[in-house]
Amino acid sequence: MPSAEKTGLSSAETGMPVYAAMSPVPAPAAAMQRTSRSDRPDRVTVAVYAADPVLRLGVVQQLRQRPEVLLLADADEERAEVSLVVVDQVDDDVAALLDRLRLNTATRTGLVVATLGTGSLQRVIECGVAAVLRRAEADQDRLLRLVLAIANGEGVLPGDLLGKLLSHVGSLQRSALDPRALSLSTLTTREADMLRMVSEGLDTAEIARKTAYSERTVKNVLHEVITRLQLRNRAHAVGYALRNGLI
């Protein structure tokens, strides 16, 4: 069994706690050759980061048992499709790590956290986090669903946190709109309808059933909105649309 103590960040260089990416086996080259996020023949590559080795070990042991997941050795961590950050709470060190991961276009980030207030939620979304799971709910099945959703380009938030985020964003004054919003403040009816359903907590499959479109079409429409408005993920798109009065 390879050592779990190799680190993905140098505390001496960053001045922050060490967050380690851990895997029992190196990733084969074939695992890096994905076809598409919606139709992959192989396993989702995952890197796990945590300052606390006990937290890291708990998540790694859960995912290690699932054939859908391939945990990467730290030498390959930057090529992971999904990066999971496991913490007690979001502080400046965690935000710095999330920012670093956001700059890596090869990965999408999920957060497994013990406590997360509204302010911290907005902060992690701004850091590019695609999905959040409470640690108390992080059993093997929920962790796997989180990883697969992130790999498929979906955003995941607990219902109560999404509600808090929408309330917070909706309370912002329209006078705070940035110049970009003034020139991009239009959505097609289909885009607005799908974003509205995302805001109500519906996932890709549910939106597809309600709109009679394929799941691939739903993903493409939402991806187009996110790309056109230069946003980070679905939650960010919903917040942006509400703030600008687009839905």
Q: What is the pLDDT of residues 31-41, one digit of tens each?
A: 334 434 444 44
First to last CA, the chain: 52
Average pLDDT rounded to a whole number, residues 61-67: 94
- The pTM score is 0.54
10 Å CB burial of residue 230 (0-12, 13-18, 19+) is exposed
Residue-level pLDDT at 44: 95
Residue-level pLDDT at 13: 43
Q: What's the distance, CA 48 to chain centroid?
A: 13
Taking the C-alpha atoms of residue 172 and residue 70, their distance in angstroms, rounded to an integer, is: 41
List the single range of 96-110, 130-144, 150-164 with lowest mean pLDDT: 150-164
Q: Are 194 and 222 in contact (CB under 8 A)?
A: yes
Main-chain dihedrals φ then ψ at residue 83, nearest 5 degrees = -110, 120
Strands 108-113 and 44-49: unpaired
List the single range of 1-15, 56-70, 198-212 with lowest mean pLDDT: 1-15
How do residues 197-226 score in pLDDT, each as one tens digit? 999 889 999 999 998 889 999 999 998 888
The SS3 assignment for 156 reads: strand
Among candidate residues 68, 117, 107, the one with its CA nearest the CA of residue 84: 107
Q: Which residues, in sequence order, are CB contacts of 187 under 8 Å at separation 6+?
A: 195, 225, 241, 246, 247
Residue-level pLDDT at 194: 92
CA angle 10, 18, 9 (to 5 degrees): 35
Q: For residue 14, give Cα distances in angstroms to 17, 73, 91, 171.
A: 8, 21, 15, 36
DSSP 103: T
Helices (H), 33-74: 53-64
